[in-house]
Chain A
Amino acid sequence: MDLFIAKNVTKTFAQHKALDKVDINVPEGSIFGLLGPNGAGKTTFIRIVNRILAPDDGELFFRGHPLTPSDIFNIGYLPEERGLYKKMKVGEQALYLTQLKGLSRHDALGKLHYWFEKFEINAWWNRKVEELSKGMQQKVQFIITIIHEPKMLIFDEPFSGFDPINVNLLKEEILELRKKGSTIIFSTHNMASVEELCDNIALINNARKILDGKVWEIKKTYKTNTFEVRFTKFDGDTRSFLSPSFEVLEQTTENEHFKVKIRIPADANPNDLIRQMLPHVMIQSVNEIIPSMNDIFIRTVTSQHPDPSTSSSEKI
């Protein structure tokens, strides 16, 4: 079941079209990656989900009903541009922001202490925000975002500015949150973290959704039947014994070790490749080359770009 559905969402600012008929379905309990180059319309979309902005056209559904202002309590949002009141004390500020979300003072204090303990920032409770490092401030803000245990969480570039240790801490928390039943929308440019965390993605470019689905399904569609074979005991060109339909893309030699990348025809399978190679070489490994999200991202976005007919009206 989909926790959140956006249908046909369109938003225009003056002459600039920020979102053009975008449909997005976020399955319940998933980690959903919202991807796209800078200025594609991700932040606008997130703001619309948060009801900060109203769409010009389109519908939004949350847990099966049209999104209402009261649903905002069930959505936690960590904006990309993070900020806190610099002159205010950390604890006081966390309490204020938590109470603004509708928690009672008592509940808010209890939960804040639990999280401050967990993130090891209890000592900072009475310090002013301006005394904190950027990473520290982000921890505080992360806590404020998730404190009311919303059904849906939206993180806009959650890892920027964190050291690797804290990135891990945050990843663990995000996975933990999903285990507890939260659905997470997560906007980022960091493709490694997408591969690691996301179940589903949607790719937005130039205000349009150009790709979406489950991560493994997308990868399956984008793979090109290319295999990498490592072997020894052969000196020469593999093309000499492979059938012509097997396309050798690349051959490298390093000491006694050889590596080839071969694209096989759609009707062939890896066994055919191995069978052809076995009589000639000693195989060490055979791997299918699966495109990384990074490759898919770059390929889809760049293949879109040199198309002036669709983007002529858009000034970014």
Chain B
Amino acid sequence: MNKILLIIRREYMTRVKKRSFIVMTILGPLLMAAIVIVPVYIATMSNELKTLSVIDETGFFFGKFKDSESIRFHYLVSDIGSAKASFTKSGDYALLYIPKTELTLPTSAVLYSKSQVNMNVKSYIKNVMGKRVEELKLEAKIKDLKLSDDAKLTTDDILRSIKASVDISTIKIGAEGKEEKSYPEVSMILGMFSGILIYFFIFLFGSQVMRGVIEEKTNRIIEVIISSVKPFQLMMGKITGIGLVGLTQFLLWVILTGTIVTIGISSFSSKIKPGAATEQLMQSQAKGMTAMQLPNAADSTKVTGEQSNEVINAIESIDFPVMIGMFLFFFLFGYLLYAALFAAVGSAVDSEADTQQFMLPLTVPLILSIVMAQYVIQEPQGPVAFWFSIIPLTSPVIMMIRIPFGVPYPQIILSMTLLVGGFLGATWLAAKIYRTGILMYGKKVSYKELWKWLKYKS
């Protein structure tokens, strides 16, 4: 046990002290922050006025949507069919349709638009509707309370009982009146971002494991070490050490990016006007990132920009503790699964140039995950998304893309179980190949040969 810690420590320290690690740690956040800040800054330059038509069949929301500098609301009294027809010809930005409900209070609305509806508009509507529904619920509750003399209810109970969430679906209307469902931006951005991050980290640190194994083998230092520790200890020590390097890099990126973005945004947040659509979206992205990575940051970010309350509400609708937990889980186990296989490949070859033939089965599922990402985003609950998020080799990337859209718990649990199983299987397999491979020199190894190694007794 002590020896494995020594190995982990060496693998970790030698890498963290490398100049390339330090450079990457500083450059990464600068780059990411630039991607976030620059568009926000550009967006503060333009401030376009948007007009929204509202058809409120329920009548609850008349006059509740207030005009701001960038959004105008006007209420239509017509049926939705003709409104849609005239909307396509008008210069209006979007059409909000709140269908009539029987008995219950309205909890859903449809937003028709010609282009992607921006985040801020949508969350403003959601917020206003939510508040209105809560008001209505409260009125009803007070009436109830007056009728009965149930005094046991506390304020908390009442507040909880009136909590309302409104679901707004967005539909894009093409010029010919063709309708197409659009996707929730925050989920999409988060999903893609985490999926690509996992892909990137697996590749980056997995191949570091492989290179490390090849280094020890070509160095022949392996013979010295293997007379002191078991091959399995050495392999797991290396994988763990490099995995910790990955986590360190990731956490440093998160903290640095969060800091730079927060400072960057707050330095010119005074210029941001309420309702200025793009910048708010961008800001939401920035907040989303910090909020995702540092749960506590959500509180502090509220202070930095009051105007973005609506956006934060939208962000908060995503369950961040779950999101972070899932990210770490799929990140770690995805890495562990691949790292074990990368270690096996490294042990089977004499130099990096020989890795080609064994790398293929590892890179194909990873690249396939990224290729499939766009289909998954379009249909997060479809069969393609389902299967790819269940199979262990593709699940780390694909499941992360799906999670912000909401995945049923049984599926998540199935995927996690299979991933852990996949990791154990891969480690078992890799340990067998590794044990034989690290001491085998000057032999061009084939798949047939690997199969033989698997069957060797220890």
> Which residue of B221, B228, B458 contacts A72 across the interface (Cβ within 8 Å)?
B228
Tell me whether A52 and B226 are in contact in the complex, defined as CB-CB below 8 angstroms, given that A83-B219, A100-B3 are known contacts.
yes
Tell me whether A52 and B439 are in contact in the complex, defined as CB-CB below 8 angstroms, given that A72-B227, A96-B10 are known contacts.
yes
Interchain CA distance A79-B438 in the complex, whole Å: 14
| B-contact bits for A27-64, CB 8 A (1 contact / 0 none) | 00000000000000000000100111110000000000
Tell me whether A84 and B225 are in contact in the complex, defined as CB-CB below 8 angstroms, given that A53-B439, A99-B6 are known contacts.
no
- A79-B224 in contact (CB<8A): yes
Which residues of chain B are within 8 angstroms of A14 by Cβ–Cβ distance?
452
Residue of B nearest to A154 (CB): B227
- Asked if B180 is at the interface (CB within 8 A of a chain A CB), the reply is no
| B-contact bits for A12-36, CB 8 A (1 contact / 0 none) | 0010000000000000000000000
- Asked if A305 is at the interface (CB within 8 A of a chain B CB), the reply is no
- Asked if A141 is at the interface (CB within 8 A of a chain B CB), the reply is yes
Which of A85-93, A112-120, A172-180 contacts its partner? Answer: A85-93
Which residues of chain A are within 8 angstroms of B223 by Cβ–Cβ distance?
47, 52, 77, 79, 81, 83
> Which residue of B216, B228, B452 contacts A100 across the interface (Cβ within 8 Å)?
B228
- Among B222, B223, B457, B458, the one with the most A-chain Cβ atoms within 10 Å of its Cβ is B223
Which residues of chain B are within 8 angstroms of A145 by Cβ–Cβ distance?
224
- B228-A83 in contact (CB<8A): no
Within 8 A of A (CB), among B56-87: none
- B439-A79 in contact (CB<8A): no
Q: Is the interface of A mostly helix, strand, loop or mixed?
A: loop
Tell me whether A97 and B224 are in contact in the complex, defined as CB-CB below 8 angstroms, given that A53-B439, A54-B458, A87-B14 are known contacts.
yes
Which residues of chain A are within 8 angstroms of B439 by Cβ–Cβ distance?
47, 52-53
- Asked if A82 is at the interface (CB within 8 A of a chain B CB), the reply is yes
> Which residue of A50, A51, A75, A85 contacts B219 across the interface (Cβ within 8 Å)?
A85
Residue of A nearest to B229 (CB): A100
- Among A72, A85, A87, A102, the one with the most B-chain Cβ atoms within 10 Å of its Cβ is A85
- A84-B458 in contact (CB<8A): no
- Among B7, B10, B224, B452, the one with the most A-chain Cβ atoms within 10 Å of its Cβ is B224
- Asked if B181 is at the interface (CB within 8 A of a chain A CB), the reply is no
Tell me whether A97 and B220 are in contact in the complex, defined as CB-CB below 8 angstroms, given that A47-B439, A88-B14 are known contacts.
no
- Asked if A144 is at the interface (CB within 8 A of a chain B CB), the reply is yes
Which residues of chain A are within 8 angstroms of B219 by Cβ–Cβ distance?
83-86
- Asked if B379 is at the interface (CB within 8 A of a chain A CB), the reply is no
Residue of B nearest to A144 (CB): B224
Tell me whether A52 and B227 are in contact in the complex, defined as CB-CB below 8 angstroms, given that A47-B439, A81-B220, A85-B221 are known contacts.
yes
- A141-B6 in contact (CB<8A): no
- A77-B227 in contact (CB<8A): yes
Interchain CA distance A133-B305 in the complex, whole Å: 62
> Which residue of A77, A83, A99, A102 contacts B221 across the interface (Cβ within 8 Å)?
A83
- A77-B220 in contact (CB<8A): no
Which residues of chain B are within 8 angstroms of A111 by Cβ–Cβ distance?
none
Question: What's the minimum C-beta distance from B4 to chain A, rounded to whole angstroms?
Answer: 10
- Asked if B134 is at the interface (CB within 8 A of a chain A CB), the reply is no
Question: What's the minimum C-beta distance from A140 to chain B, rounded to whole angstroms?
Answer: 11
Interchain CA distance A83-B216 in the complex, whole Å: 8
Interchain CA distance A84-B215 in the complex, whole Å: 10
Which residues of chain A are within 8 angstroms of B228 by Cβ–Cβ distance?
72, 97, 100-102
Tell me whether A50 and B221 are in contact in the complex, defined as CB-CB below 8 angstroms, given that A87-B14, A96-B6, A100-B3 are known contacts.
no
Tell me whether A82 and B220 are in contact in the complex, defined as CB-CB below 8 angstroms, given that A47-B439, A72-B228, A88-B14 are known contacts.
yes
Question: What's the minimum C-beta distance from B56 to chain A, rounded to whole angstroms?
Answer: 69
Interchain CA distance A54-B230 in the complex, whole Å: 13
Which residues of chain B are within 8 angstroms of A52 by Cβ–Cβ distance?
223, 226-227, 439
Within 8 A of B (CB), among A99-153: 99-102, 141, 144-145
Interchain CA distance A54-B229 in the complex, whole Å: 15
Which residues of chain B are within 8 angstroms of A83 by Cβ–Cβ distance?
218-224
Interchain CA distance A54-B223 in the complex, whole Å: 15
Question: What's the minimum C-beta distance from A112 to chain B, rounded to whole angstroms?
Answer: 15
Which residues of chain B are within 8 angstroms of A86 by Cβ–Cβ distance?
215, 219
Which residues of chain A are within 8 angstroms of B458 by Cβ–Cβ distance?
54
Interchain CA distance A50-B228 in the complex, whole Å: 9
Interchain CA distance A85-B220 in the complex, whole Å: 9
Question: What's the minimum C-beta distance from A66 to chain B, rounded to whole angstroms?
Answer: 17
B residues bordering A, Cβ < 8 Å? Answer: 3, 6-7, 10, 14, 215-216, 218-229, 439, 452, 457-458
Top 10 closest pairs, chain A to chain B, by CB: A83-B219, A83-B220, A81-B220, A79-B223, A83-B221, A100-B228, A50-B227, A77-B227, A101-B228, A96-B10
Q: A53-B439, A83-B222, A100-B3 are in contact. List 13 more A-B contacts (CB 8 A).
A: A50-B227, A52-B226, A72-B227, A75-B227, A79-B220, A79-B224, A82-B220, A83-B224, A85-B215, A85-B219, A85-B221, A97-B224, A141-B224
Sampled A-B contacts (10; CB under 8 Å) = A52-B227, A53-B439, A79-B224, A82-B220, A83-B220, A85-B221, A97-B228, A99-B6, A141-B224, A144-B224
